[in-house]
Amino acid sequence: MPLVRYRKVVILGYRSVGKTSLAHQFVKGEFLEGYDPTVENTYSKIVTLGKDEFHLHLVDTAGQDEYSILPYSFIIGVHGYVLVYSVTSLHSFQVIESLYQKLHEGHGKTRLPVVLVGNKADLSPDREVQAVEGKKLAESWGATFMESSARETQLTQGIFTKVIQEIARVENSYGQE
């Protein structure tokens, strides 16, 4: 019998970077052009990785900026985070840095399972953030970095598979301390 583990993952980032589009692509396998702004939405999906099954509960948030106060529900009982910026918006990248600091403090400065995502990579001609900058930021947190496009099913699946693996990686690193 496979073990089914529950994982709660919150998607955070500035508005309009593609949080809803990524969640929708992941769960429904399609890209929605001009989707409505999100209030807050949750999605569930069973993900199988090797012998294990994960019940992934995704919280798609309304979007934050550098002044946002993160509610407890984004901290307590959350296993991992997908932090999204758009490669076409330097401001959205700057917001991510301040969001991470707030999460890190909210979790008592422990190591966090995070996947940093530079979305809208299909709009590369309008790029304001280079991949190497995203990579550097993620490395400074000990996190994983990926560029993606919510238009691409495979790339999007990869993000959520990765966050499940990151959660396991951080849990295991605590087990060894």
Binding residues for ligand GDP, rule: CB under 6 A, are 15-21, 33-35, 37-38, 63, 119-120, 122-123, 149-151
Which of residues 144 and 148 has its CB atom nearest to ligand GDP in the complex? 148
Work out whether strand 52-60 and strand 80-86 pair parallel, antiparallel, or are unpaired. unpaired
Which of residues 41 and 165 has its CB atom nearest to ligand GDP in the complex? 41
Which of residues 18 and 170 has its CB atom nearest to ligand GDP in the complex? 18
CA–CA separation, 68 and 22 (whole Å): 22
Q: Which residue is nearest to ligand GDP (CB)?
A: 18
In angstroms, give the least distance from the CB of 60 to ligand GDP: 7
Element (H, E) at 57: strand 52-60
In angstroms, give the least distance from the CB of 14 to ligand GDP: 7
In angstroms, give the least distance from the CB of 19 to ligand GDP: 4
Burial level of 95, CB count in 10 A (0-12/13-18/19+)? buried
Residues, the chain: 177
Walk across the sheet containing 4-12 and list its strands.
41-49, 52-60, 4-12, 80-86, 114-119, 144-147
State the angle between helix axes of 153-175 and 19-28 in degrees (0 to 180), rounded to the nearest 10: 100
Which of residues 37 and 108 has its CB atom nearest to ligand GDP in the complex? 37
In angstroms, give the least distance from the CB of 78 to ligand GDP: 18
